[in-house]
């Protein structure tokens, strides 16, 4: 998981805007961060391991820039492994949320062609594959389309192309939301990062591709995009005086539980019925979500009056031989 934010529009202090947006996304990934901004003819970039709190960047005003807050899956927590990643020419920068299962063979392929990889991440291969596509005459959109089709695994990718001053974005399962208002277009992994930038949002569907330019945003793919008014509750984003997100989330728990019980009864009933009708139910989660899943297994065992199993995501495979077509996970 990671947090992504990108901006194209009227020139502003885009580096500071990206960093502010990344702060709202830090709950999604917090081991390192990076920002790249299109400045005249080159991409200026700042990357750093550690938290964003207290960090600052110093770029000139610009019409285009993006950033990433990382939760490392491939490669240590280092400045070189923080996103964005550049191609060899410096024309293209890439940020990625997710995992590329087949990155080893792709890495060997681009290295054999003479590309110089500067990080240990799975994500960097995207920048070099895009570089080759652009060199053979593809537009940024065509380049991302053909490269994304070659990536196995789940993820969201944004490519910043300095030459055309555009961004292209696409995703598989991982979230990406596009924002627009009259003077700028933005993209992020969570709507909260778009507050103050967008009046309308569109949640990108798998298979859709967004082309962001200073003139607006085009969505290609599935059907006609569903734009809706942004609905971010500003009080739920940001730290609101808490020193960190963990303290804020702990303090919010009584209210959150009360709201879920008040608003969520129909969903609880639906899930309890599904549990009753299944051949074995499993609640699965990783990290802190595994504790939520464990607690949920106690609650749902009581509500559904059926035993509900719990497994941390990494251990779930050991239940594989119990699974049937009517099991519920």
Give the footprint of ligand GLU on this chain (CB under 6 A): 1-2, 29, 70-75, 81, 96-99, 121-123
Q: Cβ 95 to ligand GLU, closest distance in Å?
A: 9
Of 75 and 196, which CB lies nearer to ligand GLU in the complex structure? 75
CB of 152 vs ligand GLU, minimal distance in Å: 13
Identify which of residues 9 and 34 has a Cβ nearer to ligand GLU in the complex.
34
CB 194 within 8 A of CB 201: yes
CA–CA separation, 256 and 49 (whole Å): 32
With CB atoms as reference, the residue minimizing the distance to ligand GLU is 2
Q: For residue 241, give both structure tokens.
A: 């005086």
- Backbone φ and ψ of 290, nearest 5°: -70, -30
What sign does the dihedral 107-112-116-120 (CA atoms) show? Answer: positive
- Report the 10 Å Cβ neighbour count for 173: 10
Q: How far is the CB of 39 from ligand GLU (least distance, A)?
A: 24
CB of 65 to ligand GLU, least distance (A): 19
Structure tokens at 110: 């681009």
Give the span between the Cα atoms of 91 and 61, in whole angstroms.
19
Nearer CB in complex with ligand GLU: 47/180: 47
Could you tell me the smallest distance in angstroms from the CB atom of residue 104 to ligand GLU? Answer: 13
Q: Between 73 and 138, whose beta carbon lies closer to ligand GLU?
A: 73
* Contact call for residues 140 and 158 (beta carbons, < 8 A): no
Q: What is the dihedral of CA 311, 317, 318, 323, to 10 degrees?
A: 90
Nearest CB to ligand GLU, comparing residues 2 and 198 = 2
């Amino acid at each position: 998981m990671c947090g992504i934010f990108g901006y194209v529009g009227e020139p502003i202090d885009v580096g500071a805007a990206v960093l502010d947006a990344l702060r709202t996304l830090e709950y999604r990934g917090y081991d390192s961060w990076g920002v790249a901004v299109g400045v005249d003819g080159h991409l200026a970039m700042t990357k750093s391991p550690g938290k964003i709190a207290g960090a600052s960047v110093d770029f000139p005003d610009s019409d285009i820039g993006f950033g990433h807050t990382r939760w490392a899956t491939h490669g240590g927590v280092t400045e070189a492994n923080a996103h964005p990643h550049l191609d060899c020419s410096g024309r293209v920068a890439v940020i990625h949320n997710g995992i590329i299962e087949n990155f080893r063979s792709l890495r060997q392929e681009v290295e054999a062609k003479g590309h110089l990889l500067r990080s240990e991440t799975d994500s960097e291969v995207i920048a070099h594959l895009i570089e080759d596509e652009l060199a053979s005459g593809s537009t940024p959109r065509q380049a991302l389309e053909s490269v994304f089709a070659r990536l196995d695994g789940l993820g969201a990718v944004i490519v910043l192309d300095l030459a055309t001053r555009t961004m292209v974005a696409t995703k598989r399962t991982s979230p990406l939301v596009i924002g627009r208002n009259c003077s700028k277009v933005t993209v992020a992994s969570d709507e909260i990062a778009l507050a103050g930038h967008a009046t309308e949002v569109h949640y990108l569907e798998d298979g859709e591709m967004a082309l962001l330019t200073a003139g607006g945003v085009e969505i290609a793919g599935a059907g006609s995009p569903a734009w809706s008014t942004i609905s971010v509750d500003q009080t739920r984003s940001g730290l609101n005086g808490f020193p960190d997100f963990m303290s804020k989330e702990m303090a919010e728990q009584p209210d959150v539980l009360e709201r879920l019980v008040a608003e969520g009864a129909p969903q609880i009933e639906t899930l309890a019925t599904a549990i009753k009708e299944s051949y074995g139910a499993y609640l699965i989660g990783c990290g802190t979500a595994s504790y939520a899943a464990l607690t949920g297994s106690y609650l749902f065992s009581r509500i559904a009056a059926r035993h509900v199993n719990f497994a941390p995501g990494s251990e779930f495979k050991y239940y594989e031989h119990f699974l049937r077509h009517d099991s519920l996970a």
